[in-house]
Amino acid sequence: MRVVVYHAEECDRRKCTTVRLAREGKVKIVTKLNQLPTGAIVLDPFSQKALSPEDRKTVEENGISALDCSWKKIDGSSVMFKGWKHHRSLPFLVAANPTNYGKPCILSTAEAIAATFYIVGFKDIATNIMSQFKWGPHFLELNHELLEAYSHAKDSMEVVKIQNDFIGG
């Protein structure tokens, strides 16, 4: 599967999950937006449509694009992705990375990519990505119930319903 990440150079590269994944050959880092694959699922926390298993074919054929930037600067950085066709937001999940442990929806790029693969049905790829980090398997354990539920939803609306039931219930 092709995963291409636009790196905004806003983080400590020694702690950057994208840099580590690139060293391991799991993702490709680009520094220009025109280097992102067309037709890929774009992970966008501001997208109105949630990622769901119905996105599997797009991930399979065109891959995933992500933006690696600081959560403190996300509002400004995410504007760069506007206009791409397949924007998807991730549903409610809890971070396990050391920087944002326990914070809802403040995932590292590696967590976001792994969650995407898990939800669309490539659980083995998600596990492989998270195995690159000491804390990685814990992300999948911490969110197991939700990831399983999301991965069995039929579409984006059902993912949002599962999320809302979990948050509200």
pLDDT tens for residues 34-78?
888 889 999 988 888 999 999 999 999 999 999 887 655 555 545
Confidence of residue 169 (pLDDT cuts 50, 70, 90): low
- Distance of alpha carbon 60 from alpha carbon 34, whole angstroms: 20
- Distance of alpha carbon 45 from alpha carbon 61, whole angstroms: 22
Q: How many CB atoms lie within 10 A of CB 164?
A: 12
Confidence of residue 10 (pLDDT cuts 50, 70, 90): low
Q: What are 43's two structure tokens?
A: 């992970």
Confidence of residue 82 (pLDDT cuts 50, 70, 90): low
Which helix (H) or strand (E) segment holds residue 98: the answer is none
Average pLDDT taken over every residue of the chain? 89
Query: Contact 120/73 with Cβ under 8 angstroms?
Result: no
pLDDT higher than threshold 80 for residue 26: yes
Q: How many CA atoms within 13 Å lie on the side-chain side of 103?
A: 11
Confidence of residue 1 (pLDDT cuts 50, 70, 90): confident
